Amino acid sequence: MFLMRFTERAYVNYTEEDVRNSPNEAVRLTFSNSNFDPQEGHYLYNMYLDEYQYSEEVGFDGLMLNEHHNTPTCLGATMNLEAAILARTTTKPKIVLLGNPLPIFDNPLRLAEELAEIDMISGGRLVSGFVRGTGVESLATNTNPLYNRERFEEAHDLVLKTWTTPGPFRWEGKHYQFRVVNPFQVPLQKPHPPIWIPGTGSPETLVWCAEHNYPYIFLETDPQGTEDMKSIYAETAREHGYEPGPENFGYLVRIHVQDTDEKAYDVGKGYMVGNIGVGRIPLPRDYASPVGYGSRSDDPRFLRLREQIRSDPFRVGGLDSAHYDEILDSRRWIIGSPDTVVSQLREVLSYMRPGILAVWTNDGSISHQDTMRCLELMGEEVLPRLREIGEELELTDPFQKMAQQQSGS
């Protein structure tokens, strides 16, 4: 099982009143950057990078980064820059980007070059993930949401051809046209870095991932719904001649460890002001899903697949509006002492069976001191036991699967 560490890298130096006074009471897109203190940003960026470097020391297999725009809930506005720094300052863990929002790039060739440099600087440790991005990303970059999926797929195809086909060649697509495609820098890994796709389970993306044999990383999704979504992936995979295993699936879950259950419970409340923002004020619906952003497919297959996925018990507002104790009782977040965390994770892993586990260790108002203690306990007590559970449950990850195939076993 592949174990990677993640945090959204939030900025929380503002108040609920600040959000209430923003246009449309939104903490994303229209929340004024007058609420941002660059001096505090200087401290936070370096703190988060220090925490990622320490994550290598405690034994994580991967360092996961993401990207969002126009929001204090994620300081990773230029994820590839952070990745380049970590590529130089770490030596062993994979640099996992989940991921670059392809539809907002007007020049995917520049993205292909950036990722190639990261792969070379890191010595071939890049895992390149791609996403459609939230509705906010489209609005923030003036990208027509109507073409989000089309641009995603075409940009993906262009980046892959750029990495794998010697130039110069010409690209004449619907959304991208280049007379000369010939970036001089190409990735170290051949034919290209691994590609993983994160998401919350749209049938179109699940089918697309299975068609490409890309691992799909479920982002804090409901266990029952995840089981249904995995079956959609598996159905498509079988149509394309392979049987998916744990190596085709990942799961992101918030896990925070402290010396005692009581301490962890108290510290873990800091998550509540991270991803949704201080005050936990719901984002306007048209910000999250602007007109045209959602699926327009009337394909009977996708309509059938959509109906196949059971509803999330937290169907109104999701985890962002749920009560803290409700989330913990549902095992959607796992917070406690090392023994408690390992016991609850065994349940989750037995049911979800991911070959890739993304551990969201801290966010929001969780302090640097508490984060470092969490990471220390993860390295000393949790990660070794998770590896044993992974072996016991035969949760093969993509790199283990590749090694097995190469050895013929």
In the chain, what are the domains?
A: 2-407 (3.20.20.30)
Please say if the pLDDT value at position 331 is more than 80. yes
Please say if the pLDDT value at position 327 is more than 90. yes
Give the integer Cα–Cα distance in Å for 134 and 323. 24
Per-residue confidence (pLDDT) for residue 299, from 0 to 100? 74
Long-range contacts made by residues 322-330, C-beta under 8 angstroms, separation at least 24? 324/268, 324/269, 324/272, 328/265, 328/268
| Reported confidence tier of residue 307, pLDDT bands at 50, 70, 90 | confident
Q: Would you give the distance in Å from CA 263 to the centre of its chain?
A: 27
pLDDT digits (tens, 9 = 90+) for 190-205: 999 999 999 998 999 9
Kindly report the pTM of this predicted structure: 0.97
Mean pLDDT of 40-51: 98
Per-residue confidence (pLDDT) for residue 321, from 0 to 100? 83
Q: What does pLDDT average to over the chain?
A: 95
Per-residue confidence (pLDDT) for residue 297, from 0 to 100? 63
Cβ atoms of residues 66 and 78 within 8 Å: no
Mean pLDDT of 10-26: 97
Give the integer Cα–Cα distance in Å for 77 and 69. 5
Q: For the packed helices 338-352 and 223-239, what is the interaxial angle rounded to 10 degrees?
A: 40
Per-residue confidence (pLDDT) for residue 310, from 0 to 100? 87
Per-residue confidence (pLDDT) for residue 305, from 0 to 100? 83
| Reported confidence tier of residue 300, pLDDT bands at 50, 70, 90 | confident
At 251 the three-state DSSP class reads strand
Per-residue confidence (pLDDT) for residue 409, from 0 to 100? 64
Per-residue confidence (pLDDT) for residue 319, from 0 to 100? 84
Mean pLDDT of 272-277: 93
Taken in order 78, 81, 85, 87, is the CA torsion positive or negative? positive
Q: Range with the lowest mean pLDDT among 37-41, 234-238, 329-333, 342-346?
A: 329-333
At 39 the three-state DSSP class reads helix
Please give the share of the chain, as a percent, with pLDDT higher than 70.
98
Q: Which residues contact 81 (CB under 8 A, 6 or more apart)?
A: none
Please say if the pLDDT value at position 142 is more than 90. yes
| Reported confidence tier of residue 316, pLDDT bands at 50, 70, 90 | low
Give the integer Cα–Cα distance in Å for 76 and 89. 18
Mean pLDDT of 7-19: 97
Amino acid in the structure at residue 250: G
Per-residue confidence (pLDDT) for residue 366, from 0 to 100? 98
Alpha helices in 289-392 (DSSP H): 300-308, 324-329, 338-352, 368-377, 383-392
